[in-house]
Each structure stands twice: as C-alpha cells, then as structure tokens.
Structure 1
Amino acid sequence: MTELRTNSAHRLTQYAHGGGCACKIPPGELESMVAGLHGSTGGELIVGLDDGDDAAAVRLDGGSAVISTADFFTPVVDDAYDWGRIAAANALSDVYAMGGRPVVAVNLLCWPRELLPVELAGEVLRGGMDVGRQAACPVAGGHSVDDPEPKYGMAVTGVGSPDTLLRNDSGRAGLPLSLTKPLGIGVLNTRHKATGEVFPQAVAAMTELNAGAADAAVRAGIGCATDVTGFGLLGHLLKLVRASGVSAHLDPAAVSYLDGSREALRDGFVSGGTKRNLDWVRPHADLSAISEDEALLLADAQTSGGLLLAGEVPGAPVIGELAPREEHLITVR
C-alpha cells in the first residue's frame, strides 16, 4: 500500500514546520485566543464563534442561509497537485459539515518565491481548481503573498437552509455517532514527511469530498455534525458534546483505520499536534479502558477527514452514542 517517492527535486513537506491540519494552533490555545470574541453583533447571524462550529452561517431574506469559511495549511504531501486537491477538499468540507452546498471559492496562497519554482505553485492551484470543478464550485481568483513557508487553501462561500443546518450544538442524548471516513491520516502523513513514502490510500481519503455524506445526513434528518480534522476524533467530539450539553460513549473497536496506520504509530510517526490533542482532551475523558497507543490514534490529527454525525447514514459505521451529561464528557470503552 506504499510506494517510494520518485518525482521532483522539491519535497514540499520539507519546507514546512508541520503538515496539513496538524499545523493548527492547539485547541486550548485557540480557545484562549478567541475567548473575548464570543457573541453575535447582529440578529441575522445563525452560527458564529460561540461554539467553535465549522463555519459561520447568516440568515438571508427569503429563507436561505449563507455559509462562510476559510481554511489553509502547510504541505501535507510532497506532490504539489495532490496538495492542492487535498487543501481544496478540506476547505470545502467546512461547508459540507454544516449541511450546505459550496457555490464559490477563492484561493489563499502563501509561496516562498525565492525558494520554490512558480510552476509548482501553478500545480497547487491546478489541483484546487480541479476539486472545485468536481464539487461544481467555481474557483474565482483569490489572494497570494510572498511567504517563507508555503501554505494553501481557500475561502469558501456556500448556501443552505436555516432549518436543516448541521450544527455542533444540536446533539441529543441517545443519538448514535457515525464516522464517514477512516482515521489514520495523521500518522501516515507524518511518516510520509519523514521518509518520503507515498500512501495512496491516505491521498484518496483526503481528496474524497464530504458532499455525499452531507447530503445523506440532511436527507436523514440529522441536525448535529462536525468534520474531523486537526483536533482529531477525540478533540472534535469534545467540542461537539460541550456545545450540545451532553456526553459521549465511544467504542474504539468500531472505529476503522487506513491500512498502515497502526504500523506508522508503532514506528513512532506521531505528530506534535496529535500529542497536544490528547493532552487537551485527557482531563475531560475516561480513557482507562484503552492503551496510550489507541488513545493517540483516536486523537490523531486528521487532514480533510470525514464527518462525525449524530445519527446514521448508509456506509458509515456507528462508533458510539451520545448520553446525558456525565462527569467525563467522553468515555471510551
């Protein structure tokens, strides 16, 4: 399932201090940073900063909502075109995680123009454009800056119905928890950065759009969801249960992983972001039933991961359920 990297003299991951969503500011630090910014200044804001949801949503006249998000990060793979595809899919995911449909995107590009050829930047943008085309979302221009570290992503605008938005604060005790993509992206990407090995299964997972999962969730009447990215499954689940005022019971045996994930963990390819995720969640979780390695996999920093749904959709394993608020917000058993 792996192959040796044979292309390009430029390994993009070597120009970045971190990779993909693992380069996010740690969740605890981020919460402190935005602590004084909570609350809406206008009556039309449906979803804002209060619960750290995936995107903002504003109600428009006529019964629709505009969904707005931005997401960008450092290279997660060495192939420029694949990085562009991954970053675009990840940015679009925030709209899908709200139950919306992306309608336009603009590029966000930071490029070390004296270190890396502009032709590589063109490949990154081409990857993003192709994913936008796949999503039927026009990519129209954007913004670029000269930066010592390459970064790429998109600002995306979407639309949805205020009545069917997927939110992280609408979970209810008794609802099942489903996950639409396997975990393990983080440890495989960390191995790729260190060794140059290419993992097609990870690239395929990261470039898969969450459009179908979002559509299935809305059609099933699900109202609570989030996507699993840089804070890992445990981190994003913690945000969901806190926002919803419930707890969660998680069955680790039901969680699926990409081929090679456990071997990458065994060989020590764990990002700093994953370790910080686990440190943040640990005070709020009962992890006594699992090993430290299993906990690290559940906290693994994902890039363009799947949707975590409070409900069931075809093809997504049920990995736990929401419960009334308990001492531990997450119990793994």
Structure 2
Amino acid sequence: MAETIRLTEYSHGGGCGCKIAPAVLSQMLASIPALPSYPNLMVGTESSDDAAVYRLNDEQAVVVTTDFFMPIVDDARDFGRIAATNALSDIYAMGATPILALAVVGMPINKLPLETIRDILAGGAEVCAAAGIPIAGGHSIDAPEPIYGLVGVGVGHPDKIKRNDRAQAGDVLILGKPLGVGILSAALKKGELSIEGYRQMVDTATQLNTVGAALGKRSDVHAMTDVTGFALLGHLLEICRGSKLGAEITYASLPILSVAHLLAEQGYATGAADRNWASYGDEVTLAEDFSDWQRKLLCDPQTSGGLLVACAPEAAEAILAEFHAANFTEARVIGRMSAGEARVVVVK
C-alpha cells in the first residue's frame, strides 16, 4: 500500500499564517530607503497594498504581485488550488484582470514523491485555467519545506485601479467571504477537522475573487483589498491608516464559517492570531464583553480570503447584489468608515 503523504507535516506553518507578523515586517522594512520618484509607478510600497501598479499609457496599467506559502492542507492538488487562488486574489483586489502567471516552486525533492509535486502543480494550473490565464513559466528550487505560489500579472485601466487607501468617511464596508480558514487549518494540523469543516475550508479558499474585476469598473467603490494573513482587523487597519480614517464593524454582522465558529468557541486558534494582535491590538477597541476566542477570530489569518470593499452608502445594496450574483452567497455589510483617527472599533 502506498504511503499516505501529509503535506502539513513537512512544514512549520501553512497558508497565509506563514506571513511574518505585521510589527516584525515593519521593523524589517524600516531601514529600507524610500523609492525614488517613478512617475508611472501608480502603486508601490507606500500603502501596503495588494499589488504594484505601473501605468503603461492612458488606457492601460500593468498590475503585478507574488504570493506563495507552505501547505495549509494535506491534499496536494488542493494545496496547489488554494495557493493559486490566493495569489490571483491580489490582482482582483486591485480591480484588475489577470492575464498570466508564473509559478514559484520550492520542494524537498528527496522527501516528496514526484507525483505529489506534480499534483500540486496541476492544482495551480487548474485554477489558472478557470481564471482564463496561462502559467507561462516560473522558477523552482530544491527547498527544505514545500512552497508553492504564483507571480500574477494583470491589467487594468489607470483610472479604475482600486487602492486600499482611498476610502471616504461614511463608506459602507462589505466583506465578500466568511472568516475562519485559519481556525480550520489549526484543527486540521491536529488531525481534528471534520469532513464538513474541510469542505468549507477548501470551498472558500478556492473561490476566485473574480468579482473584483467588475467592481473595479465602479466609481462608487472607493477602496478595496483582500483579507489574508493579517486577518480582518489587520487589513482593515491598512485601509484606515492609508485613508486617514477610522472604522466601526459589528461583530454580529460578520460572516463566519459555521464549523470554524464552533471550533473557535472550543479554543482552536493559530499562533498567528496572537502575533497579529500583538502587532496592532493597540489600534483596536473591542466591546468590554468580548471573549478571548472572539478576539482571536478577528485576528484569524485568512488564506485566500474575501474582498473587503469600502463603497458609497447608496451603492451598497447594488454591490452586495453583485457579490451574490457571482456566488459569494455570504457576502455582507459589516460596518462603515468614519472621520477620526486610524482605529477600528468593534461592537457586538
């Protein structure tokens, strides 16, 4: 009988939970000189946005990103699908359309069977085919832990790129996917995730955020990002800091994967949730009766999470309808932006 390969046993972390904590990342980047002026560089490192954007001409801008990580699931094809979906999400989060991808591959060649590695690559190719783009090349190395992801390249109109630092006071906040992927991954790592929990995890993490390209055409969408390793609070704070605004979200309005909610109440969480809170907790105000597990859920690192949209209040219903029509059935209004310091207030 062939040996069962558990990919998560080959890595010390998985998915977007592998991200370096926001506070540590800031310290690492603090000594790097600011970029010189490049007139056609529309989005660089200044706002911690999802992708770089370079204006080619008055009608076209190229959008480029890269994202890769270690296994969040044991199934090779599912790992490839999740990693590819997550990488392309950054293009959609800018309101752009992907046109091609390059594979980023690091594998412990002497530990993993070649068929397992082929299945990872096949999963990524499957997602790119669904997005209508080729994997046109890439780079591979022999690495101590399995790593897979993509460089994503997209295009958009320079006037319709959606940054994460253009929210306006009074904007409504819409979240496109339910939270809880990190919690499910923590249970999986312990061998305690149910079949239904695994289905929820893979279904949400492999749903391409294609609706972002359509939202890019709307002038009433002011800011957009996707919720990944820094969790809902971390990525919303990036919007707040860049836009110089505050935000208030209602916990009861948050879409949460049902199995993840049950597991969170039982104490399941990732180590990254505490690292996230340590990085930005002093910029968050929680209602006094918040439980520790609820705080951790708000800091739960999402892998291939949903789009977070700040839009004009009068457009919220129509934009929510766009999400639902694109099969983002749990998309919801979760709060709004407000004048004031860059801070997130969470009410029950």
TM norm structure 2: 0.90
1:34 CA drift (Å): 1.7
The one-letter code sitting in structure 1 at the alignment partner of 2:259 is G
**2:166 matched residue in structure 1:** 170
Give the match for residue 24 of structure 1: 19
Give the SS at the match of 1:155: strand
Query: Conserved in 2, the CA contact under 8 Å of 1:19 and 1:190?
Result: no
Verify the 8 A CA contact 1:37 1:49 in the aligned structure 2: no
Q: Any conservation in 1 of the 2:94–2:216 contact (CA below 8 Å)?
A: no
The equivalent residue for 1:12 is 7
Distance 2:144 2:165 in 1: 38
Which ranges of structure 1 fall in alignment gaps of 5 or more residues? Answer: 1-6
Aligned to 1:276: 275
SS at match of 2:84: helix
Q: Give the aligned partner of residue 328 of structure 2.
A: none
Counterparts of 1:302-321 in structure 2, within 5 Å, are 302-311=302-311, 312=316, 313=319, 314=321, 315=324, 316-321=331-336
Structure 2 counterpart of 1:261: 260
Contact 1:110 1:150 in 2 (8 A): yes
Partner of 1:322: 337
Give, in angstroms, the shift of residue 171 of structure 1: 0.6
1:209-228 maps to which residues of 2 (within 5 A)? 209-216=208-215, 218-219=217-218, 221-228=220-227
Tell whether the 8 Å contact from 1:164 to 1:221 is kept in structure 2 after alignment: no
Equivalent positions of 1:226-237 (< 5 A) are: 226-237=225-236
RMSD (Å), alpha carbons = 1.5
Deviation at 1:61, TM superposition (A): 2.1
Q: Distance in 1 between matches of 2:75 and 2:24?
A: 31
Answer whether contact 1:217 1:309 (CA < 8 A) is retained. no
2:175 to 156, 176, 179: 179
The answer as to whether partners of 1:165 and 1:223 remain within 8 angstroms in 2 is no
Q: 1:8 to 1:237 in 2, by over 3 A?
A: farther
Q: Equivalent pairs: percent with the same residue?
A: 43
Q: Could you tell me which of 98, 101, 104 is aligned with 1:102?
A: 98
Residues matched between the structures, number: 326
Counterparts of residues 114-125 of structure 1 (less than 5 Å): 114-125=110-121
Any conservation in 1 of the 2:66–2:149 contact (CA below 8 Å)?
yes
One-letter amino acid of the counterpart of residue 23, structure 1 = C
Q: For structure 2, which runs of at least 5 residues remain unmatched after alignment? A: 325-330
Q: How far is the alpha carbon of 1:18 from its aligned partner?
A: 0.6
TM-score scaled to structure 1, two decimals? Answer: 0.94
